[in-house]
Amino acid sequence: MTHWDPSTADGLIYSGGWRAGGGGVLAVTSPGDGGRVGTVGIADDQDVDQAGVLAVAAQKQWARASYRTRAGVLTRAAEVLREIRDDVEHLLIRESGSLPTKAAHEVSKAIDELVEAASLVTMSQGDVLPVDDPTTLGIARRIPVGVVGVIAPWNAPLMLAIRSVAPAIALGNAVIVKPDVKTAFSGGAVMAEIFSRAGLPDGVLHILPGGPETGEAVVRSPHTNVISFTGSSAAGRRVGEVAGGLLKRVILELGGNNAFIVMADADLDLAVACGVGGSFRHQGQICMATGRHLVHESIADEYVERLSAAAAAMRLGDPLAEGTTLGPLITTVQAERVQSIVDAAVADGARVAHGGTHDGVFFTPTVLDGVGATNAAFQSEIFGPVAPVTRFSTAEEALELTNASDYGLSAAIHTRDIARGLGFASRLRAGMVALNGQTIYDAAHIPMGGIGASGNGGRHGGHWNLDEFTYWQWVTVPTISD
């Protein structure tokens, strides 16, 4: 097991090597213990422009590299991440407030993304199509898009960045990453380290931390051809507006207010376990978190009682402290936002079955009962450890409640009748549906993404990455005839 010292990136950006950024520096503190994590270098417009120039030049050479070379870099990057995973996991815990189990899971998922991306290079890169003249060969082939701009969030910073970075690089593109400043080490510097050790040529990858201004500069850059954005729906609309006006392809993976439907015939033990994980994993700060528990009225009392008991058994605290099962929210601002939603929900008739308060960044796991369809807790993406419960009487009512949201990312259905569950799922407005599982479930090889306020239908994962990070070119070649 080798090591990595993140202080090598302290106060710097990565573009043609580690160097100072034009936007100054920003201190980062741990939400768990309040201690200093490091100092992030901030990129300004000039840094973005310079990175774009370098990326365009490097991409031309990288696109000519053999598929074996590109696969080799991705495979070695996965090996490097395995070697330094202890250091990366510790960094995720301190920088993002992840519990150790969540940090370990995120690193494993990032490794999966690298391995899966390496396999893209040997997938079919085109088709042979008929041409009117039988002496002419017609080929539709995939071409790298050029330079991909990746704007990544703070909640799962490594995995949510690398799922765009890895396939884009594998397919012959250069990448400019704008990580969130709150997690610029685990969501940016880590990738610079693993790809550098893996032998990726200079200029193919750039890490430019910054705020919204830096992100908009990446979107507006004349050097970026595709923008992959993961974040809030409000910010995603802005990215889509700017990128669309510039006629750029944009991949939007946005928020979710995901429904967890518990039918009357559900296995209640399983449903409660999945409901707890869905709402409280990583303090609810996951786009696929369970935002609405829709429970049949015949079992709702028992479900709320069990969910509340599970919440009461959780131990809130610093993720590095022994016995902690629920960590902090990312900032006090986020905690105050969650509190405002809970308070509005109660004012509108909801009942606090457990929790409902916070102390700084630490928010007690909260269960709300009696949440109506117009309630703030039903309508909002809470992004905190809150489980709102809404009761229904018929399957049609459950379907109507599920589809009442503008979001369409993930859903889960608990029923012993699998055929009915499959039929119900086909009528849901959701990009992903789990039967008798959690709303939080994805993998590197599946089509990850949503619709509506959850995204524009773009998909991360597996061969779907080919559609996002290449474009089609039609080529005709006259052949020699007798």
Domain hosting residue 316, numbered range: 258-435
Enumerate the β-bridge partners of residue 206.
176
Determine, yes or no, domain membership for 448.
no
Q: Are residues 190 and 263 in the same domain?
A: no
What's the confidence (pLDDT) of residue 458? Answer: 87
Q: How many domains does the chain have?
A: 2
Residues carrying an active site annotation: 253, 287
Q: Are residues 90 and 201 in the same domain?
A: yes
Determine, yes or no, domain membership for 18.
yes
Rounded Cα gap, residues 430 and 412, in angstroms: 10
Rounded Cα gap, residues 293 and 19, in angstroms: 48
What's the confidence (pLDDT) of residue 480? Answer: 74
Q: Are residues 295 and 230 in the same domain?
A: no
What's the confidence (pLDDT) of residue 230? Answer: 97
**Sheet strand arrangement including 351-354:** 351-354, 366-369, 386-392, 290-296, 258-262, 410-414, 432-435
What's the confidence (pLDDT) of residue 482? Answer: 63
- Report residues of the chain scoring pLDDT below 50: none
As given in the structure block, the two tokens for residue 348 are 């509108």
What's the confidence (pLDDT) of residue 190? Answer: 98
Q: Are residues 202 and 265 in the same domain?
A: no
Q: Are residues 291 and 420 in the same domain?
A: yes
**R_g over Cα of the chain:** 23
Q: Are residues 43 and 17 in the same domain?
A: yes
Q: Are residues 405 and 348 in the same domain?
A: yes
Q: Are residues 101 and 249 in the same domain?
A: yes
CATH code of 221's domain:
3.40.605.10
3-state SS string for 70-100: HHHHHHHHHHHHHHCHHHHHHHHHHHHCCCH
Determine, yes or no, domain membership for 396.
yes
Q: Are residues 32 and 155 in the same domain?
A: yes
The two beta strands, 126-129 and 136-144, are antiparallel
Burial 280-292 (b: 16+ CB within 10 A, else e): bbbbbbbbbbbbb
> 151: exposed, middle or buried (C-beta count within 10 Å: 0-12, 13-18, 19+)?
buried
Rounded Cα gap, residues 134 and 476, in angstroms: 11
CA distances 230 to 5, 179, 236, 336, 458, Å, are 27, 10, 8, 23, 11
Rounded Cα gap, residues 99 and 316, in angstroms: 11
What's the confidence (pLDDT) of residue 387? Answer: 98
What's the confidence (pLDDT) of residue 55? Answer: 98
Q: Are residues 175 and 88 in the same domain?
A: yes
What's the confidence (pLDDT) of residue 236? Answer: 95
Determine, yes or no, domain membership for 445.
no
Determine, yes or no, domain membership for 294.
yes
Classify residue 27 by its DSSP letter. E
Name the CA dihedral angle for 320, 325, 331, 337, rounded to a multiple of 10 degrees.
Answer: -170
Determine, yes or no, domain membership for 480.
no
Q: Are residues 245 and 142 in the same domain?
A: yes
Determine, yes or no, domain membership for 201.
yes
Classify residue 6 by its DSSP letter. G
Determine, yes or no, domain membership for 481.
no
Q: Are residues 131 and 26 in the same domain?
A: yes
CB distance 143 to 110 below 8 Å: no
pTM: 0.96
CATH code of 384's domain:
3.40.309.10
